[in-house]
Chains A and B, each alone.
Chain A
Amino acid sequence: MSLGPLTLIILALGLAGYLIGRRRAIAQVAGDIRKLHSLPPFYGRITALLTVVPALFLIAAWLLAEPAFIETKALSLIAAEDIPAGKSAALVMADVRRVADGVARLQDSGIEIAPLLASPSALKTALNGAAIVLETEPTVSTLAAAAALRDALASSRFALSIVALLLAALGLGFALSRITPEYRARNATERFAMWLLVASSLVAVLTTVGIVGSLLFETIHFFQIYPAADFFFSTEWNPQFRGGSSLGLWPLVWGTLYVSAIALVVAVPIGLMSAIYLAEYASRTTRSWVKPAIEILAGIPTIVYGLFALITVGPLLRDYFAAPLGLGNSSSSVMTAGLVMGIMVIPFVSSLSDDIINAVPQSLRDGSLGIGATPSETIRQVVIPAALPGIVGAVLLAASRAIGETMIVVMGAGAAAKLSLNPFEAMTTVTVKIVSQLTGDTEFASPETLVAFALGLTLFTLTLALNILALIIVRKYREQYE
């Protein structure tokens, strides 16, 4: 049975459970629902939940675990000589998956399969006709693997259908057996809902763990083939396609920090001051059109900002600042990317700060004004300190955006890794290099590619450290002022 109908059947069982559970509860007190602990729908609801939720969880877990189990078997069937030199088994395995998938599709469209399976080259042309392109030539062993894969998949799905239906039926029976007038269905539903919420938040946490885990895994792999000391302490970034690269971290980290710092120097004062204007001085009508206008900045795709940097800001800075000052004549520069990125993150600072400043109680302003302070003294000495934890959060959000930005850097600052103080020189950042290392033509298992994961982990650590720092600042501040 395929997944769609299976899910539908389980949901139908749930609906039936709702109706039966409700009716059963009412029947047990002969229609006098005052004798029930909870209102009848609660009995229906808990029955439906116990029927549907465990079965759906089982399906999800099964689908997650399935590939690992059925693919190892297929992988072992692939003959070693069928794996082309320089290609990994994973690549061949991807083709096996495509073949298995394609054969099923051909079969569905009514094409005779048997003759194709006998001749790998005929199969390849047939698959090509069905818009499925294989990277490698199918061989006898890969075809066998594909067949095994299909069989394993079919039997796995069959087993899944049986087990899931069984579980749903069990849940239904269990829930029905528990229904008595004293049964606290309302509280049980409440608890069930709580566990559902816990499970949802767990998904978010586990995803983070999974992302970090996969980064960590590949990073360890990287450090096995490239010395960690060179990565952390070398100041040279010079990847070579034929090996012998220097993959020093510092030019990239420096570029990232330099560009982000310029962006924040632009965005924090402008954003904060426009937030103060909006929250404290602007009339309601002004505010109602200025605020959305600033927020539009956040909606512009970064590639458009990149274009702006490339064709407007870059040449402008070069012609009017860098060249006359003798600081170089490159139109890609840290300054270009930093300025444009600063404009991009202004709304992150201003919009959030505006909300936070607005949340400061009016009574504090009254207190200060009532002593004879001017509005600007009130803002500087009372409103901003009261809003500071939130403002730090807003700035941090802007910083994370700046550190993670790629497009503006590629188009504004270039792709040359360099350690330099001159803001009018082309430099590049960690994110840009992650992209270029992964999209290169090099083999996946080479240090030149794997370094991307180490860089990713570095970036993650950087933003994490930033977040922790902000947390410490905010907490210290709270202790002082709350």
Chain B
Amino acid sequence: MKDQRLETRVDTQTIKIEARKAQVYYGTNHAIKDVDVDILDKTVTAFIGPSGCGKSTFLRCLNRMNDTIPSCRVEGRITLEGEDIYDPRVDPVQLRARIGMVFQKPNPFPKSIYDNVAYGPKIHGLTRNKAELDEVVESCLRKAALWNEVKDRLAAPGTGLSGGQQQRLCIARAIATSPEVLLMDEPCSALDPIATAQVEELIDELRSQFSVVIVTHSMQQAARVSQRTAFFHLGNLVEFGETGQIFTNPRDPRTESYISGRIG
């Protein structure tokens, strides 16, 4: 019943990011081959696949984070709202403000918890005064399910939190810039089940405002939070479709054996 409602909504949505024949090379290593993916607006898309298949690599193409790796080369066409993001006229800094990212390993800055979250709003000038900034920080920390744990020590260093708290801090930091797309690379790999559930709830909530792409190794998580799922294998996009269809009725034998635990 619920699934059906989701599917109808998916069909009516516009395409946010479109990748056509995307290729990524690390030196001579061809890490992503001919990937075509549409990321829909206000949808959660999950990337699944065995370790080393290129999920993180492809994710990092979407906000040009691969620019920071000297040996990395991207080919093909990736557009955000119809505009080629690898066009020389596009400013990658502006692009990354629109497409936020949460990394596999928590990486809080060596600053206070408050300053970690306020970092994005400050550099982009999103707030007019301290009161507004305070509000943004509080709401982001609340959304990331961290507020209750840190509200009394906002001035304490962010690096002093536990691993799971640090990851939620990074999520709060990423959503504070109000991106249009949020890329999350295994955001829950350091979290306990309770925090994971909170983050999943957050992802579901975020879907009402922007689209989310999440890389995960947990089939259950992909099934729980996403509406669409892409399965990668050895740099190829094997199958991409509605989450319900991928998990119940995969078309490709490789997808089926991965989901049922036979490859990976």
Residue numbers of A with Cβ under 8 A of B are 283-284, 361-374, 377, 381-382, 385-386, 480-482
Residues on the A chain within 8 Å of B220, using CB? none
B107 and A366 contacting across the interface, CB-CB below 8 Å: yes
Our pick among B112, B120, B159, B160 for the contact of A371 (Cβ within 8 Å) is: B120
A372 and B94 contacting across the interface, CB-CB below 8 Å: yes
Residues on the A chain within 8 Å of B105, using CB? 363
A370 and B100 contacting across the interface, CB-CB below 8 Å: yes
In the complex, what distance in Å separates the CA atom of A283 from the CA atom of B71? 12
Known: A361-B107, A366-B65, A381-B111. 20 other contacts (CB 8 A): A362-B68, A363-B107, A365-B68, A366-B68, A366-B107, A367-B107, A367-B170, A371-B177, A372-B97, A372-B98, A372-B177, A373-B93, A373-B120, A381-B119, A382-B110, A385-B110, A385-B111, A481-B110, A481-B111, A482-B159
The yes or no answer to B215 lying at the interface (CB within 8 A) is no
In the complex, what distance in Å separates the CA atom of A372 from the CA atom of B99? 8
In the complex, what distance in Å separates the CA atom of A326 from the CA atom of B34? 74
Residues on the A chain within 8 Å of B80, using CB? none
A368 and B63 contacting across the interface, CB-CB below 8 Å: no
The yes or no answer to B174 lying at the interface (CB within 8 A) is yes
Q: Which residue of B lies closest to A360 (CB)?
A: B110
B124 and A372 contacting across the interface, CB-CB below 8 Å: yes
B101-118 vs A, CB cutoff 8 Å, 1 = contact: the mask equals: 101010111111000000
The yes or no answer to B233 lying at the interface (CB within 8 A) is no
Looking at the assembled complex, report how far the CB atom of B169 sits from the nearest CB atom of chain A, in whole angstroms.
11
A385-B111, A481-B159 given as contacts; is B103 within 8 A of A369 (CB)? no
The yes or no answer to B173 lying at the interface (CB within 8 A) is yes
Please name 7 pairs of A and B residues whose Cβ atoms are closer than 8 Å in the assembled complex, sorted by A.
A364-B107, A368-B119, A369-B93, A370-B103, A371-B123, A480-B112, A481-B110
B109 and A364 contacting across the interface, CB-CB below 8 Å: yes
Residues on the B chain within 8 Å of A284, using CB? 70
Residues on the A chain within 8 Å of B173, using CB? 367, 371
Residues on the A chain within 8 Å of B33, using CB? none
In the complex, what distance in Å separates the CA atom of A363 from the CA atom of B101? 12
Our pick among A363, A372, A382, A385 for the contact of B93 (Cβ within 8 Å) is: A372
B93 and A482 contacting across the interface, CB-CB below 8 Å: no
Residue numbers of B with Cβ under 8 A of A are 63, 65, 68, 70, 93-98, 100-101, 103, 105, 107-112, 119-120, 123-124, 157, 159-160, 170, 173-174, 177
B63 and A370 contacting across the interface, CB-CB below 8 Å: yes
Our pick among B109, B170, B174 for the contact of A382 (Cβ within 8 Å) is: B109
Tell me the interface secondary structure of chain A in the complex: helix
In the complex, what distance in Å separates the CA atom of A381 from the CA atom of B115? 10
In the complex, what distance in Å separates the CA atom of A166 from the CA atom of B81? 91
Residues on the A chain within 8 Å of B70, using CB? 283-284
A367 and B177 contacting across the interface, CB-CB below 8 Å: no
In the complex, what distance in Å separates the CA atom of A363 from the CA atom of B106? 8
Residues on the A chain within 8 Å of B100, using CB? 370-372
In the complex, what distance in Å separates the CA atom of A370 from the CA atom of B157? 20
Q: Which residue of B lies closest to A477 (CB)?
A: B110
Residues on the A chain within 8 Å of B103, using CB? 363, 366-367, 370
In the complex, what distance in Å separates the CA atom of A402 from the CA atom of B70? 39
In the complex, what distance in Å separates the CA atom of A368 from the CA atom of B111? 12
A364-B109, A366-B65, A386-B110 given as contacts; is B157 within 8 A of A371 (CB)? no
In the complex, what distance in Å separates the CA atom of A371 from the CA atom of B94? 9
In the complex, what distance in Å separates the CA atom of A174 from the CA atom of B202? 73
Residues on the B chain within 8 Å of A482, using CB? 110, 157, 159-160
Residues on the A chain within 8 Å of B109, using CB? 364, 367-368, 381-382, 385-386
In the complex, what distance in Å separates the CA atom of A481 from the CA atom of B108? 11
Q: Which residue of B lies closest to A377 (CB)?
A: B123
Looking at the assembled complex, report how far the CB atom of B122 sits from the nearest CB atom of chain A, in whole angstroms.
9
Q: Which residue of A lies closest to B95 (CB)?
A: A372
Residues on the B chain within 8 Å of A363, using CB? 103, 105, 107
Which of A363, A365, A369, A382 has its CB near the most chain B CB atoms (within 10 A)?
A: A369
Residues on the B chain within 8 Å of A370, using CB? 63, 65, 96, 100-101, 103, 174
| 10 A-B pairs with least C-beta separation | A372-B97, A370-B101, A363-B107, A481-B110, A372-B96, A367-B107, A371-B120, A386-B110, A481-B157, A382-B109
Residues on the A chain within 8 Å of B124, using CB? 372
Looking at the assembled complex, report how far the CB atom of B91 sits from the nearest CB atom of chain A, in whole angstroms.
9
In the complex, what distance in Å separates the CA atom of A123 from the CA atom of B89? 94
Our pick among A361, A369, A377, A386 for the contact of B68 (Cβ within 8 Å) is: A369
Q: Which residue of B lies closest to A388 (CB)?
A: B110
In the complex, what distance in Å separates the CA atom of A444 from the CA atom of B78? 83
A369 and B111 contacting across the interface, CB-CB below 8 Å: no
Residues on the A chain within 8 Å of B174, using CB? 370-371
Q: Which residue of B lies closest to A371 (CB)?
A: B120
Residues on the B chain within 8 Å of A377, using CB? 123
In the complex, what distance in Å separates the CA atom of A369 from the CA atom of B100? 10
A371 and B107 contacting across the interface, CB-CB below 8 Å: no
Q: Which residue of B lies closest to A375 (CB)?
A: B93
In the complex, what distance in Å separates the CA atom of A91 from the CA atom of B15? 96
